[in-house]
Amino acid sequence: MDFILSGVAACGACLFTNPLEVVKTRMQLQGELKSRGTYQVYYRNVFHAFYTIGKVDGIAGLQKGLVPGLLYQFCMNGFRLGSYAIIESSGYTHTDGRVSATKSTLAGALAGVVGAVMGSPIYLVKTHLQSQATSSIAVGHQYKHRGMFHALVAIHREHGILGLWRGSSAAVPRVSVGSAAQLCTFSSAKEFITDLQGKLYRGFSDCFSKTLKNEGLIGLYKGIGASYFRIGPHTILSLLFWNELRKLYQSYRVQEPEGL
């Protein structure tokens, strides 16, 4: 169940962040292997890319590759967060009842490797579909995939079963490093907040009001400059949905009558 809840949580975040993935993919492909100044610039910056794609391809163009994007998030984060949850619940991320930075980092990295390998084929398809655009703003190689399943069949036919894992050697270190930092930070922050709630604050409302009273409105925004533009909202939404779904499931199991 941890795998399912983790995947659903990541899908919820993907609905909001997929347009950023489309923009990122187009900007990365723009001018591929060409010297600066020798190619036409269709996307000057992130905001211009949003405007251009929306104007030419329509609002739906900003959600290119959404289906494989959702499936990728479900598979990759389902296995990643699900694996970490199992390791965490088994007590391997703790030392003497406290979160161990070393153990949680290693557990996060291992979970990232599992997720990256399992989700790599869908990520490949997602990238292919997100790169497809109207000829007037097309960048990079344009595939003629009609959808996710057509893309999987076409890639398999041309490159074989291993072709579906092209690029996984780059995805594994990227996801494992990000996963290690993300999950170690998440576990430590969750423990820290739990400790604070018993010492400084009685709950969220108490924390909010005390911060506002003592530090002013600016105090509520401390550290905002360090937030990442894409990974920030995606990480927050994924882990929030994941944590809340796990709590709902656990409360359901407690209330479930015996013998059912």
DSSP state of 228: -
- Mean pLDDT of the 27-56 span: 89
At 72, the pLDDT band (50, 70, 90 cuts) reads very high
pLDDT of residue 231: 67
Q: 136 falls in which pLDDT band (50, 70, 90)?
A: very high
Is the pLDDT higher at 258 or at 218?
A: 218
Domain parsing of the chain, residue ranges: 2-199+230-255
Tell me 74's DSSP state: H
Length of the chain: 260
What distance in Å separates the CA atoms of residue 216 and residue 122, rounded to the nearest whole number?
Answer: 46
CATH superfamily for domain 2-199+230-255: Mitochondrial carrier domain (1.50.40.10)
Does this model's pTM top 0.75? no
Instruction: Name the phi and psi angles at 148, rounded to 5.
Output: -65, -50
Range from 131-140, 191-200, 204-213 that averages highest in pLDDT: 131-140
Give 95's strand partners.
98
DSSP E strands, the chain: 94-95, 98-99
Per-residue pLDDT band at 200 (split at 50, 70, 90): low
Tell me, what's the pLDDT at 154?
Answer: 95
Non-local (6+) Cβ contacts of 118 within 8 A are 75, 76, 79
- Nearest CA to 125 out of 230, 209, 25 is that of 25
Percent residues over pLDDT 90 in the chain: 50
| Mean per-residue pLDDT, 44-65 | 93
